[in-house]
Amino acid sequence: MERLPTFALGLTVGLVLADSSVVILALPEILDQFNVAIDDVAWVLTLFNLVLALAAVPAAYLARSRAPDLVCRAGLVVFAAASLGCALAPSFEVLLISRGVQALGGAAAVCAALELLPAQLNSERRAAAVWAAAGALGAAAGPAIGGFLTQAISWESIFYVQVPLAVAAAVLLPRATERSARAPAGRPHIAANVALGLLSASLTAALFLVVLLLINGWGHSPLSAAAVVTVMPLASLVSYRLLPSTGAPRVRAACGAILVGGGLLALAVLPGADWWWLVVPQILIGAGLALALGALTEDALAGRSPLAIHGGWTIASRHAGVCIGLLILTPIFTGDLMDQQNAAEASGTRIILNSSLSLTQKIDLGSRLVEQIQSGAVTKPPDLKPAFEAIGNTPEIRKLEDEIQDQIDRAVTHAFSGSFLVAALMALAALIPLATRGRPEL
């Protein structure tokens, strides 16, 4: 069964890289359970990506200097143990430490997997393509899988599920074959790695902000949000099968970056607060992801030896990009959200003041709305229905409710526009290093 070891290597890469985004839909549950601030809970995501970015290149050198199959197994065992630590974490601090350890083990496993793949596939090019595709699919599918598990079972189940998968991959890994003499690693492909970082920063927005918009903005459950964001990995998978995988990697990467930029641009100008508006932009982003991440990773690895070291650089670039994306986009989004809360409050006030309700009803409704907003969870949009139901069920009151709900939907949706626009610019900025034609190493 030659396919099993290859599958185990793909599973290793997909499993570890899915972890960079798998907890996105679980963050509100984690926030509630550990009672931490919104800024703090984002570290569950950021820390994993930060440690992965920092550990990837040293882990690649380790995989190169020791037996890669042993390094990969050891990495998977550490990853599995840390996943168990995340699931059983009694405090937020333990959860964060476990996430850091998970990233350390994951870095070793992913980089060593790239050292093992060429022998399995008898081709360095195919190895790079399979490694890149597994990583891209894992990252894209992460939020949907995490959301499904969170809603169906609990956020801890995300980490429990990873334990047997990591152990199974460790058992099925192939043995390392004899390697040729170890040549010193050449310089990394700077243009491709910079483009990977920029594209990953923009993809953070696509994954993180779409999920936030669905759950925290529009009030969807993690399960329905997971169903909506499944469009992205599906589009990625279909595009990977249908779109040409031959041709200049730079052209494929440029087309992918343009599609991701276009999808994010469409998200910045959403004309409504309904989930179906997210479908077409996600298809563009998924297709762009399949084209660009694969092509850029291939470009970064093409003709470079040893593969594991250069693979380590691509992991470092991608996850540094994710961290930079989070660091740039979070303050923009937070600031816009506050501005839009004020705008929604002002327009709601105007609607109530100018309505034809009696004075008593206006006062009653106003105080009930304030009560509902203050009593709601910070991770969910306020449920205003009880406030309106309490003062009556006339057509006029229902119309007022619709008008105010419409203003809230507009405010929440518009709060994400600036971040999506900046993310679109980041995706398009990836074209700049790609345009350095003839100078592959800047």
Partner 1 sequence: MSRGAWWIAIACVVAVVPAVVYVAAGGRDFKPAASGNPCDARKWPSVDGTDQILQQAALSAIDGAACKLGVSSEALGLALTSQDKLDQFAKDNGISQSEVEQAARAGLLRAVDDGEASGEINGVTAFALRIAAQAVPIDRLIQLVRDQVYG
The DSSP secondary structure of 14-30, one letter per residue, reads: HHHHHTTTTTGGGHHHH
Q: Which tokens is 242 given?
A: 């249908």
Closest CB to partner 1 among residues 377, 435: 435
274 to 293, contacts with partner 1 by CB under 8 A? 277, 280-281, 284
CA separation for the pair 29, 48 (Å, rounded): 18
Asked if 225 and 211 count as a contact pair (C-beta separation under 8 A), the reply is yes
**Residue (62 or 265) nearer to partner 1, CB:** 265
Give yes or no for residue 116 binding partner 1 (CB under 8 A). no
Identify which range of 66-74, 125-133, 325-333, 351-359 contacts partner 1 by CB under 8 A: 351-359
Closest approach of Cβ 129 to partner 1, in Å? 19
Q: Which of 259, 301, 320, 422 binds partner 1 (CB under 8 A)?
A: 259
Distance in angstroms (rounded) separating the CA atoms of residues 328 and 420: 12
**Min CB(442)–partner 1 separation in Å:** 20
Minimum distance of partner 1 from residue 32's CB (angstroms):
28
CA distance linking residue 28 with residue 40, whole number of Å? 12
- Could you say whether residue 386 binds partner 1 (CB under 8 A)? no
Q: Which of residues 393-432 bind partner 1 (CB under 8 A)?
A: 407, 410-411, 413-414, 417
174 binds partner 1 (CB under 8 A): no
Of 283 and 320, which CB lies nearer to partner 1 in the complex structure?
283
Q: Counting contacts by CB under 8 A, is residue 242 touching partner 1?
A: no
CA distance 220 to 212: 10
Number of residues that bind partner 1 (CB under 8 A): 48
Among 22, 258, 301, 337, binds partner 1 (CB under 8 A): 258
* 368 touches partner 1 (CB under 8 A): no
Query: How far is 73 from 82, CA to CA, in rounded Å?
Result: 14
What CA–CA distance (Å, rounded) separates 401 from 62?
61
How would DSSP label each residue in 300-343? Answer: HHTT-S-HHHHHHHHHHHHHHHHHHHHHHHHHHHHHHHHHHHHH
Q: DSSP per residue over 93-140, as a string?
A: HHHHHHHHHHHHHHHHHHHHHHHHHHHHHT-HHHHHHHHHHHHHHHHH
Asked if 344 contacts 407 with a C-beta cutoff of 8 angstroms, the reply is yes
Q: How far is the CB of 440 from partner 1 (least distance, A)?
A: 16
Instruction: State the minimum distance, in angstroms, from the CB of residue 248 to partner 1.
Output: 6
Asked whether position 295 contacts partner 1 by CB under 8 A, the answer is: no
The answer to whether the CB of 196 falls within 8 A of the CB of 300 is: yes
Q: Is the peptide bond before 58 cis (omega within 30 degrees of 0)?
A: no
Q: Is 294 in the site for partner 1 (CB under 8 A)?
A: no
Min CB(346)–partner 1 separation in Å:
4
**Least separation, in Å, of the C-beta of 192 and partner 1?**
16
**338 is an interface residue for partner 1 by CB under 8 A:** no
Going 59 to 60 to 65 to 69, the CA torsion angle's sign is positive
Which range of residues in 85-93, 154-162, 226-234, 361-369 is near partner 1 by CB under 8 A?
Answer: 361-369
Q: Which stretch binds partner 1 (CB under 8 A): 156-164, 187-195, 268-276, 322-330?
A: 268-276
CB 128 within 8 A of CB 298: yes
Q: To the nearest whole angstrom, how small is the minimum distance from the Cβ of residue 429 to partner 1?
A: 15
**Residue 30 or 424 having the CB closest to partner 1:** 424
Q: Shortest gap between Cβ of 10 and partner 1 (angstroms)?
A: 28
Residue 154 lies near partner 1 (rule: CB under 8 A): no
d(CA 408, CA 231): 26
Nearer to partner 1, 106 or 263 (CB): 263
Minimal distance in Å, beta carbon 224 to partner 1?
21
Which of 66/368 has CB closer to partner 1? 368
Residue 151's identity, in one-letter code, is Q
Angle subtended at Cα 91 by Cα 216 and Cα 76, rounded to the nearest 5 degrees: 90
- In the complex, minimum distance from the CB of residue 433 to partner 1, in angstroms, rounded to a whole number: 15
Q: Please tell me whether residue 266 binds partner 1 under the rule CB under 8 A.
A: yes
Alpha-carbon distance of 269 to 249, in angstroms, equals 30
Nearer to partner 1, 155 or 420 (CB): 420
Residues 6+ apart with CB under 8 A from 394: none
Residue 362 binding partner 1, by CB under 8 A: yes
Residue 85 and residue 126 in contact, taking contact as beta carbons nearer than 8 Å? no
Q: Would you state the structure tokens that stand for residue 190, as one six-digit string?
A: 């700077």
Which residues sit at the interface with partner 1, rule CB under 8 A? 247-248, 250-252, 254-256, 258-259, 261-263, 265-266, 268-273, 277, 280-281, 284, 340, 343-347, 349-350, 353-354, 356, 358-360, 362-363, 366, 407, 410-411, 413-414, 417
